[in-house]
Structure 1
Amino acid sequence: MFLDIQNIVAEFSSWIWGIPLLILLIGGGLYLFIYSGLVPFRYMGHAIAILRGKYDKEDSPGDLSHYEALSSAIAATVGMGNISGVAIAIATGGPGAIFWMWVSAFVGMATKFFTCSLSVMYRGKDEDGNVKGGPMYVITEGLGKQWKPLAVFFSFAGLFGTLPAFQANQLTQTLVDVFQVNESNTFTAKLMLGITIAIITALVIFGGIKRIGSVAGKLVPVMVVVYLMTVLTILFLKIDVVPSIFKLIFTDAFSGKSVLGGALGVLIITGVKRAAFSNEAGLGTAPMMHGTAKTKEPIREGLVAMLGPAIDTLLVCTLTALAILASGIWKGFDGDGISLTLAAFNSVLPYNIGGVILTICVLIFAFSTLFTYSFYGYSCLSFLSNLKTAKYYNHIYIFVIVIASVVKLDFVINLMDSAYALMAIPTVISTLILAPKVKKAAAVYFQKLKMNEF
């Protein structure tokens, strides 16, 4: 019986993450990219000024500063996908897949601009009067109460899509692999690691959104800088091959010959799919966090959110790809995911120091995601029920961390992937319908900025 369910979920996950979802995510994102007239991209400097707190006001509605909102959202997206996901893209699609990840990231920046502008434009409130954001509120406040079934659809899928099963499972597996735990002791080791991870996570998430934002604001810069310095060291040691790496990425992007024998369509899908997992643009999670930002200007938060895919995919994922390709170990490597990234780091850096640094980065990446995802699930349940019921979500969340640490990964991945895909449907549909509202508000905002009215 359980085996049949596993097969059904696996088949559904494979189908929905194929052409239908890619058309919705990339087709919709490309439309928003063109529809924006590229106006937001011309204000990157202004977005950075916002992020630095130039326009922060304490009396603005919301719980988090622009910086904390972006840090928390990035904390959720910068995770194992940036380390193992990129390795999988190279192993299955070749170096050219990285180019299509870049393309998808630019499209995703436009999607994030629209979805997160809407998350502030159409915010809701819980029964205690706290400001709430996310696709469920965009749908009910922006499209009307008659659209509430679509909001319920998103929130229900979000309860499963934002569970910590994937991160907890991969984190424990990484630690078991790195420290070469004896196979006979694997279950006990994973269980103890799962309990430890659950305790650490509980200390943060039971403090609420403000503590999550504070911790994420400190963790995100540290993990990006450490990772940046490590990869730059690898590239410095392999400086002679760097020009050829970029050439390989661009040439392979339109041929796919190095791995796929010219299967260009499959190559593009691989890159796009990995980018979607990496930056989550259009899936609806980031708007829940950005919707809590302390601001009265929706466009301002949209500009800040737009930086997310740039940091997540264009920076962090690119760093991972360059480290793997520079090592040369990816050619004919028997395996992918974290094992490929680990082997690449160790092959260049002496005394296996690469594995040590990568393990530290994995810990920070995984924990930052675990901290943030709890807020997403809590937000979904509070929308479906009430705050009193939603408070129990974190208890379930902690319990799932322990269970996910010892169960098989395949079913967990397929179940959560399916839920994530279902979350994208109402998110992108509502964004496409309400996009004219964002474009109109953007025209007003940029005109005020031009006239120095802020």
Structure 2
Amino acid sequence: MNHFKIFSTAAATTLLAPAAMAQGIDAKVNEAFATVTGPFVNFIFAPIPGTSFPWIVLWLVAAATIFSIYFGFVQFRFFGHAIRLVKGDYSDPNDAGEVSHFQALATALSGTVGLGNIAGVAVAVGIGGPGATFWMILAGLLGMASKFTECTLGVKFRNEYADGSVSGGPMYYISKGFTQLGLPGGKILAVLFAIFCILGSLGGGNMFQSNQAHAQIANIVGDYPGWITGIVFAAIVYAVIVGGIKSIANVTEKIVPFMGILYVGSALVILIVNYHLIGWAIGQVFAGAFTGLGVAGGMVGALIQGFRRAAFSNEAGVGSAAIAHSAVKTKEPITEGFVSLLEPLIDTVVICTMTALVIIISQQLIMEETSGHYLMNEAGTGIATVGGNTGVALTSAAFGSSISWFPYLLAVAVILFAFSTMISWSYYGLKAWTYLFGEGKTTELLFKIIFCVFVVIGAAASLGPVIDFSDAAIFAMAVVNIAALYPLMKLVKAELDSYSARLKSGEIRAFKH
């Protein structure tokens, strides 16, 4: 998720906007809303008794581990085939669906790549030390199997309409899949998932994004009313989402590669300039993973932070990506499962790892320049900070130590991340909305207008508890989704076995384009 994971109400308030914006009406809304939703938020993010490990993170990581084992580590066995699918080697333009494999992947990635890759990694390394990176990578690799499972089901049980449009996602595979297996409660779980999805899309997938975009712009050009940013963003977002998934996919297939090149390219420049420290930094990652390098909590602290950041970054198991992948053109549901497993690899293993290495190396350079000490100080309290910076500010300072103009580039990245997350989550919320209230142009237009109104509200207000609640709703999606995936995973296994046999026998062949 995007990119926008909130870790606590206090953290949300710190990240969302200047203190001045939290006065008056905002403060009253915050107080009233927190009173009503606080118990739900606290439950979702509550730690396991006797530990500091959030139970929702264990819920996600345990599922990813089980799926990896059950499917024989499909993320490694079919990695090469997934690349060929994205390239279009097996694509038949006559298959039902609305977008290509690459467009579906780009749309889903645009919903997950974002602030979690910038701020979340800084928080993980800052609290858990360099070793958090190792556990973050491991959780990302395991999460590939969760994405594979849910996205295969998304295509298998999607609705295909006469006009060529499709609707899919957990709402559909939970209700249809449970019916096929003769299990009770499918409709109730599907409705519950849809409600959580709508709430998450309007908050974390919308208001938080426009709020952070305004904050970054204001930092560059000076403070000004947030509603101006909100209106501009709302107009651009509406222009894209009004055309449906095809329009969204056409935009994301261009933005996502550009975002990746822009951000990862900057990280590579810093790593190349400081190439002599790369081996040392990797050594710190492995050493810290099993010793904690003196940070609070030691190895356990590094593990908790790494797993938490991975789970909050790539959304494997949340079920959101299955909505985007369901629109793909294919007659083989399993193929989109293969494509989707690339998401956690790109989001967490590549982009988050690049961020972590830059922070580790940059902080080391700063420590050497200021005090001659190495990464961990004598008290062993954790990685150094720059002027007390954390989150986005820490990442910006880390990049800025080697590239003076990086804060400006970061502002562009945050704006693009925010915009791409909004248009993807608008589609997620729309499909949950139409599942509850029915398909139709009027129904869809109503939700799109509501979504754009919330873009303006998000940019103009400081609503920490509202965003906390929406983030909790997103992870509540994972509670419902994963609970349903366990009985449904045998249907995915049947699809996998059938496809594997036909691929091996030569029955399934690449198309000549």
Fold conserved (TM > 0.5)? Answer: yes
1:127-138 superposed matches below 5 A: 130-138=165-173
Identify the residue that residue 80 of structure 1 maps to in structure 2. Answer: 115
SS at match of 2:94: coil
- Residue 265 of structure 1 deviates from its aligned partner by 3.1
SS at match of 2:291: coil
- Residue 70 of structure 1 deviates from its aligned partner by 0.4
- Residue 301 of structure 1 deviates from its aligned partner by 0.6
Q: 1:322 to 1:11 in 2, by over 3 A?
A: farther
Matched positions, count: 445
1:251-270 superposed matches below 5 A: 251-262=287-298, 264-270=299-305
Q: Distance in 2 between matches of 1:392 and 1:218?
A: 27
Q: Distance in 2 between matches of 1:255 and 1:299?
A: 40
- Residue 432 of structure 1 deviates from its aligned partner by 1.0
Letter in 2 for 1:176: A
Larger deviation, residues 20-29 vs 108-117: 20-29
- Residue 342 of structure 1 deviates from its aligned partner by 1.1
- Residue 295 of structure 1 deviates from its aligned partner by 0.4
Is residue 176 of structure 1 aligned with residue 218 of structure 2? yes
Contact 2:97 2:164 in 1 (8 A): no
Q: Structure 1 length as normaliser, TM-score?
A: 0.93
Letter in 2 for 1:92: I
Larger deviation, residues 313-322 vs 404-413: 404-413
SS at match of 1:162: helix
Identify the residue that residue 444 of structure 2 maps to in structure 1. Answer: 390
Q: 1:259 to 1:10 in 2, by over 3 A?
A: farther
Contact 2:131 2:289 in 1 (8 A): yes
RMSD: 1.9
SS at match of 1:254: helix
1:72-111 superposed matches below 5 A: 72-111=107-146
Q: Distance in 2 between matches of 1:335 and 1:326?
A: 16
- Residue 241 of structure 1 deviates from its aligned partner by 1.5
Q: Distance in 2 between matches of 1:11 and 1:87?
A: 28
The one of 381, 395, 412 equivalent to 1:360 is 412
1:250-329 superposed matches below 5 A: 250-262=286-298, 264-328=299-363
Letter in 1 for 2:123: I
- Residue 406 of structure 1 deviates from its aligned partner by 2.3
Deviation per CA, 1:60-111, whole angstroms, max 9, x where unpaired?
1111111100010001101111111111212222222111111110111000
- Residue 146 of structure 1 deviates from its aligned partner by 4.6
Identify the residue that residue 34 of structure 2 maps to in structure 1. Answer: 6
Letter in 1 for 2:385: G
Q: Distance in 2 between matches of 1:259 and 1:413?
A: 30
Is residue 425 of structure 1 aligned with residue 479 of structure 2? yes
Identify the residue that residue 402 of structure 1 maps to in structure 2. Answer: 456
Deviation per CA, 1:206-248, whole angstroms, max 9, x where unpaired?
1111000011011111111121221111111211211111111
Contact 2:74 2:145 in 1 (8 A): no
Q: Distance in 2 between matches of 1:210 and 1:46?
A: 25
Letter in 1 for 2:341: M
Q: Distance in 2 between matches of 1:291 and 1:229?
A: 31
Contact 2:225 2:460 in 1 (8 A): no
- Residue 255 of structure 1 deviates from its aligned partner by 2.4
Contact 1:123 1:141 in 2 (8 A): no
SS at match of 2:287: helix
Ranges in structure 1 where 5+ consecutive residues have no aligned partner? none
Identify the residue that residue 192 of structure 1 maps to in structure 2. Answer: 228
Letter in 2 for 1:214: N
Larger deviation, residues 13-22 vs 394-403: 13-22
- Residue 170 of structure 1 deviates from its aligned partner by 1.3
Contact 1:206 1:394 in 2 (8 A): yes
Deviation per CA, 1:380-422, whole angstroms, max 9, x where unpaired?
0000001332321111111111111122252233111110111
Contact 2:288 2:302 in 1 (8 A): no
4+ long deviations beyond 4 Å: 125-129
The one of 168, 187, 190 equivalent to 1:148 is 187
Letter in 1 for 2:450: I
Q: Distance in 2 between matches of 1:193 and 1:313?
A: 30
Deviation per CA, 1:108-166, whole angstroms, max 9, x where unpaired?
10001111111111112469673211000001111128510100000001111112011
Q: Distance in 2 between matches of 1:327 and 1:267?
A: 19
- Residue 331 of structure 1 deviates from its aligned partner by 0.7
Larger deviation, residues 330-339 vs 107-116: 330-339
Deviation per CA, 1:9-54, whole angstroms, max 9, x where unpaired?
3554343134431232111111111111124421211110000011
Ranges in structure 2 where 5+ consecutive residues have no aligned partner? 1-27, 48-53, 367-382, 509-513
The one of 274, 283, 292 equivalent to 1:247 is 283
Q: Distance in 2 between matches of 1:260 and 1:361?
A: 32
Q: Distance in 2 between matches of 1:7 and 1:243?
A: 49
Contact 1:9 1:418 in 2 (8 A): no
Contact 2:113 2:314 in 1 (8 A): yes
Q: 1:305 to 1:140 in 2, by over 3 A?
A: same
Deviation per CA, 1:306-360, whole angstroms, max 9, x where unpaired?
00100111111111111211211561331311111111111111xx221222222
Q: Structure 2 length as normaliser, TM-score?
A: 0.83
Q: Distance in 2 between matches of 1:254 and 1:10?
A: 35
The one of 64, 67, 73 equivalent to 1:32 is 67
